[in-house]
């Protein structure tokens, strides 16, 4: 017989799940920083990616249709046609190199560049397109390589690539939307949003690939710059310039 005023066994069974619900609530609450809400986290994420406008999708390579963008990816404005590009801005580490830094006890020892990238740069400048190398680091190897390729516009130790773009564009009389860049990491997202054509190397950070108008097939330091140079040359002349067999062999 059930005593008056005491809960029945069925009532006790029904009430049992309540501690579990409370524990579940505590677990879900632990995912947030105390004093914040899910809305504030979303707002922070939006501010972190606010430098990139959301209009067009990224494409894999010239001549292919844009890939279907994943939900929440970054996208830049409609690109300037490659045939109208007048200045190509190259990042160095991770683009002209594979991103690895070779250090000795005295500091950086060397950088490794790809010969095909260099030849593509020379072909592009020969067609009338200006080329600039802009790097956040300083390296004597970069100075030597750019001198060898006759690249006159070299900015090293650059902490503000938007300012570097503005200065280069003003000095050369070129509109920023007639400029292209090829980069590999998130510090260059603002630069990508400021130029007319933003490219990324194949092994770039996922956010950079999502923001790019074009992504190379080759990774940084392994011919990615040559791919973009060839694409611009095709757009300007309708074909990649053909070299005599002997000259091709000598260039290597």
pLDDT of amino acid 23: 42
pLDDT of amino acid 244: 47
pLDDT of amino acid 19: 46
pLDDT of amino acid 75: 56
Question: Which is it for the CA torsion 233, 88, 117, 222, positive or negative?
Answer: negative
Question: Which structure tokens are listed for 114?
Answer: 């790809």
Least confident of 67-71, 118-122, 136-140, 170-174: 67-71
Rounded to whole angstroms, the Cα distance separating 163 from 159 reads: 9
pLDDT of amino acid 124: 97
pTM of full prediction above 0.75: no
Residues in the chain: 252
Q: Provide the b/e sequence for 152-187 (b: ≥16 CB within 10 Å).
A: ebbbbebeebeebbeebbeeeebebbbbbbbbbbbe
pLDDT of amino acid 65: 37
What residue ranges define each of the domains in the chain, with the CATH number in brackets?
74-251 (3.40.50.1000)
Rounded to whole angstroms, the Cα distance separating 123 from 146 reads: 14
Rounded to whole angstroms, the Cα distance separating 172 from 71 reads: 39
pLDDT of 220 strictly over 50:
yes
Q: What mean pLDDT is reported for the chain?
A: 77
pLDDT-based confidence at 154, cuts 50/70/90?
Answer: very high
Q: pLDDT of 81-102, one tens digit each?
A: 999 999 999 999 999 999 999 9
């Amino acid at each position: 017989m059930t005593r008056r005023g005491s809960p029945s066994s069925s009532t006790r069974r029904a009430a049992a799940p309540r501690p579990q619900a409370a524990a579940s609530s505590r677990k879900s609450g632990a995912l947030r920083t105390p004093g914040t809400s899910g809305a504030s986290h979303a707002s922070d994420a939006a501010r972190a990616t606010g430098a990139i406008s959301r209009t067009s999708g990224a494409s894999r390579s010239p001549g292919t249709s844009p890939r279907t963008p994943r939900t929440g990816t970054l996208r830049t404005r409609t690109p300037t046609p490659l045939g109208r590009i007048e200045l190509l801005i190259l990042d160095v580490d991770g683009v002209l190199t594979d991103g690895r830094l070779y250090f000795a006890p005295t500091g950086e020892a060397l950088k490794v560049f790809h010969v095909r990238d260099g030849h593509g740069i020379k072909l592009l400048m020969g067609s009338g397109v200006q080329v600039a190398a802009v790097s956040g680091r300083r390296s004597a190897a970069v100075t030597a390589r750019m001198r060898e390729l006759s690249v006159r516009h070299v900015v090293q130790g650059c902490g503000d690539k938007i300012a570097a773009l503005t200065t280069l564009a003003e000095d050369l009389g070129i509109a920023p939307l007639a400029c292209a860049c090829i980069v590999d990491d998130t510090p260059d997202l603002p630069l990508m949003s400021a130029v007319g054509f933003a490219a990324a190397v194949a092994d770039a950070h996922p956010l950079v690939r999502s923001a790019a108008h074009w992504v190379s097939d080759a990774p940084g330091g392994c011919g990615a710059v040559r791919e973009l140079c060839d694409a611009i040359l095709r757009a300007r002349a309708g074909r990649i310039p053909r070299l005599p067999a002997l000259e091709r062999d000598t260039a290597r």
